[in-house]
Amino acid sequence: MGDVSALYGVTPYTLTDGLAGGVRAFDVKNGNGVEMTVLADRGLDIPFLRYKGVNVGFYSKTGVTHPAYYQEEGVRGFLKRFYGGLLTTCGITYAGAPCDDEGRTLGLHGPFSNTPAEAVSAGVVYEGDDVALRIAGQVREACIFEENLRMSRELVLETERNVLRLTDTLDNLGFEDSPAMLVYHVNFGYPLLDDGAKVYASARDVRPCDDFAAEGLHKYNLIEKPEIGRPEQCYFHTNELEAEGFAMLHNEKMGVAAIVRYDAGVFPLLCEWKCMRAGDYALGLEPTTAGVLGRAEARKQGLPMLKGGESRVYRLSIELTDDQGVIDGYIAKARQTA
């Protein structure tokens, strides 16, 4: 070939219309069935991912908005800017439900996904004989008299396999200890998410987060038809027996699955966000460092802290496949096959 960008590559551009005007973005294609968009001005998160032409991620009614419009106001400030996407990162010093923690009023899920990345780079890299697409950058959360944290993100999309690898390195650039809370909000939507699809997970225990979730515990793993006005349900998956945990959404009718793999030692809890609400039809498979109930609650359970000058690495991967043998292998390893 004269130019391999016909097969794979990274294309930078800037969105120009409406609330998205001015947002820096990259379109990435691996030549093997995966095409995705990464937003430099939204923490290098991922609003769109398609697998062999099929939409995979949840994309909400808010659409992509410029981070300048973000205001932290309890729950609604985050939700009015939550496009969902394949990935929304929540953190860095707090994530989960809004709360009051040691004199600070904290909003839903923290500012990470509404923070522009800096020192952004993108291009084709070579790993031995294999080609991969790489995007990297840094996101800072800092405040006078308070935290000074920097997250260095690397996204690598393979071309020989349909695997996306994420590596985040968190540095405490301050002198005092700082909370370090992260929720990787990995979201799936129609048509991969559809009536009859199932969730399989490796964690040995699952519990509902509230009474309404408890009512549906017997079918927490079954995706249902959307219903008008139906409340969301959340389930907490814990007690991994292996070093690497996983959760998989399998659409048997399509013959396609998405697998989220994560370091169980770093992410002791996976939150399953089951939202069967018409118009907001979504499934989140969310590895978390300290749950999703807010920093005040996490502090009671043992809030993860990062010492001054300390670094910590977080890794997860997302694989798309229509290989039935691979899918059957994960089903066999899952806690249940109902």
CA-closest candidate to residue 108, choices 118, 99, 120: 99
Q: What span, in angstroms and rounded, lies between the C-alpha atoms of 257 and 192?
A: 8
Name the average pLDDT for the chain: 96
CATH of 4-333, one of 3.40.190.290, 3.30.70.141, 3.40.50.1860, 2.70.98.10: 2.70.98.10
pTM as predicted: 0.96
pLDDT of residue 338: 41
Q: What span, in angstroms and rounded, lies between the C-alpha atoms of 117 and 122?
A: 13
pLDDT of residue 335: 79
pLDDT of residue 336: 58
Token look-up 């697409």 returns 133
Instruction: List the domain boundaries for the chain.
Output: 4-333
pLDDT of residue 337: 42
Identify the segments of the chain with pLDDT beneath 50: 337-338
Q: What span, in angstroms and rounded, lies between the C-alpha atoms of 77 and 279?
A: 19
